[in-house]
Amino acid sequence: MEILNVLNYISAFLTLGYALIVVSFIRGWHRLRWYKRTEQKHVTPVSIIVAARNEEANIAKTIEDLLAQDYDPALVEVIFIDDHSTDGTARIIASYPRVKLIVLNEDKALNSYKKKAIQTAIGGASGKLIITTDADCRMHPAWLKTIVGFYEENDYKMISSPVLYFQEKSFFERAQSLEFLYLIGLGASTIGNGKPSTCNGANLAYEREAFYEVGGFKGIDDLASGDDELLLHKMASHYGNKIGFLKNYDAVVYTHAKPTVSEFIQQRKRWASKSTRYKNKAIIVLGVGVWLFNLSIVLNFVGGIFSSVFFEMALIQLLVKIIAEFLFLVDVTKFGRRRELLYLLPVLNLMHIVYIIFIGIAGNSGKYNWKGRMVK
């Protein structure tokens, strides 16, 4: 009986901790002010950088969206880096006269081709502000001037902007959209709380000078992933509160969810692999705490076979998780104009518990497939 009480106390502690974490996310999200763009004349030279590998099916639409931006063309350069594509990606890029193409020719194997591609492009870039996105993304014509306006008004060193999934074709892809909204909201809220933890390289801006000031990707260039999050941590450590999140719908970049479970798992293993290199111990403790909370739910459900007390605790934990995340996602889905996805939350929670436990282990061990390469 004493052991039972101890286990219940541990479960209750983890549950309370998780609830407080989500409450902090809600607070951080509300601390972010909505950015209202003004029509002032922009003066910032910008370099938009896109690393591409085997994207012939998507890249033309991305290029056309970038070239259609409502921003002075004399202040913009669009740079694409072809990362050893084996399809028609480079040919498509080269067909656009206003786009600069760099062909990555590495004669030795690397673990981080994307960081090499971005760093190569930055080395030849002329813009004061670097903006990175991906070769399968879409954006509004006001995307660029919204980011630059936010930058010019606030003098941030780095700006994280929202990324959303769209054009879902299945229940699985819609479930990913809701989970991805949670992740985007999480990253935004930690910036709102002054403790940046995560961002997405598909919509990230930073000063070229600041990139070099923090040493670029030095120290993290041996890891395949991390051109966004790990760079964010370096910027936050060096510049403190000079990191901003752009809360404006015109600043959203759109991309697609993964169509298969296998591709989804590989993507999330890649994302999770970065956690081994976090310098900020508070972020590591946060991640471990969330993982242990989800593990305790599963263990309590299993323990319910032997004692109803465990089963009751598991139900309480699940209920707390659903309510807390619902309260957070009400605001985030409103921002993303995807409130209709909230009905998926109960089902997503069950899937999410198993996924968190699995990815927490798999993402920090072994290799994963990224763009047809096995990396780590």
DSSP string, 169-238: -SHHHHHHHHHHHHHHHHHHHHHHTT------GGGEEEEHHHHHHTTTTTTTTTSSS-TTHHHHHHHHHH
Q: Is the pTM of this model over 0.85?
A: yes
Instruction: Return the structure tokens found at 259.
Output: 């169509």
Please determine, for residue 254, whether its predicted confidence score (pLDDT) is greater than 80: yes
Exposed, middle or buried, 100 (CB in 10 Å: 0-12/13-18/19+)? middle
Per-residue pLDDT, 269: 83
Please determine, for residue 363, whether its predicted confidence score (pLDDT) is greater than 80: no
Please determine, for residue 369, whether its predicted confidence score (pLDDT) is greater than 90: no
Domain regions of the chain by residue span: 2-28+281-375, 33-269
Question: Model confidence at 376, in pLDDT bands (50, 70, 90)?
Answer: low
Question: Model confidence at 151, in pLDDT bands (50, 70, 90)?
Answer: very high
Q: At what angle do helices 171-192 and 345-362 cross, to 10 degrees?
A: 70
Give bridge partners of residue 132 from the DSSP assignment: 49, 204
Question: Model confidence at 229, in pLDDT bands (50, 70, 90)?
Answer: very high
* CA-derived radius of gyration, the chain: 21
Question: What is the percent of the chain with per-residue pLDDT over 70, rounded to a whole number?
Answer: 93
Q: What is the mean pLDDT of residues 107-116?
A: 76
Give bridge partners of residue 374 from the DSSP assignment: 369
Count, residues in the chain: 376
Higher-pLDDT residue of 271 and 255 is 255
Please determine, for residue 370, whether its predicted confidence score (pLDDT) is greater than 60: no
**C-beta of residue 327 within 8 angstroms of C-beta of residue 333:** no
Instruction: Return the structure tokens found at 4.
Output: 């039972």
Query: Any idea which residue has 């541990």 for tokens?
Result: 10
**C-beta of residue 60 within 8 angstroms of C-beta of residue 68:** no
Q: Which of 360, 343, 345 is nearest to 298 (CA)?
A: 360
Per-residue pLDDT, 204: 98
Q: Does domain 33-269 have CATH number 3.40.50.300?
A: no
**Around Cβ 1, how many Cβ atoms within 10 Å?**
6
Q: Where are the beta strands (DSSP E) in the chain?
A: 46-52, 76-82, 99-103, 129-134, 138-139, 158-160, 163-165, 204-207, 243-245, 253-255, 368-370, 373-375
Cα torsion through 362, 364, 369, 373, rounded to 10: -160
Exposed, middle or buried, 315 (CB in 10 Å: 0-12/13-18/19+)? middle
Question: What is the percent of the chain with per-residue pLDDT over 90, rounded to a whole number?
Answer: 71
Instruction: Return the structure tokens found at 260.
Output: 């298969």
Per-residue pLDDT, 272: 80
d(CA 14, CA 20): 10
Out of 18-22, 173-177, 218-222, least confident range: 218-222
In the DSSP assignment, the letter for residue 53 is S
Instruction: Return the structure tokens found at 330.
Output: 């009400």
Q: What is the mean pLDDT of residues 231-236?
A: 95
Per-residue pLDDT, 173: 95
Tell me if residue 370 falls in helix, strand or coil: strand
Cα torsion through 8, 314, 271, 242, rounded to 10: -70
Out of 71-75, 198-202, 368-372, least confident range: 368-372
Q: What's the mean per-residue pLDDT of the chain?
A: 91
The distance in angstroms from the start CA to the end CA of the chain is: 45
Higher-pLDDT residue of 345 and 7 is 345
Q: Which of 29, 35, 295 is nearest to 183 (CA)?
A: 29
Question: Model confidence at 105, in pLDDT bands (50, 70, 90)?
Answer: confident
Please determine, for residue 225, whether its predicted confidence score (pLDDT) is greater than 90: no
Question: Model confidence at 330, in pLDDT bands (50, 70, 90)?
Answer: very high
d(CA 15, CA 8): 10
| Alpha carbon 258 to its chain's center | 14
Question: Model confidence at 257, in pLDDT bands (50, 70, 90)?
Answer: very high
d(CA 14, CA 40): 49
In the DSSP assignment, the letter for residue 201 is G
Please determine, for residue 1, whether its predicted confidence score (pLDDT) is greater than 60: no
Q: Where are the beta strands (DSSP E) in 115-273?
A: 129-134, 138-139, 158-160, 163-165, 204-207, 243-245, 253-255
293-304 residue pLDDT tens: 999 999 999 998
Give bridge partners of residue 47 from the DSSP assignment: 77, 130
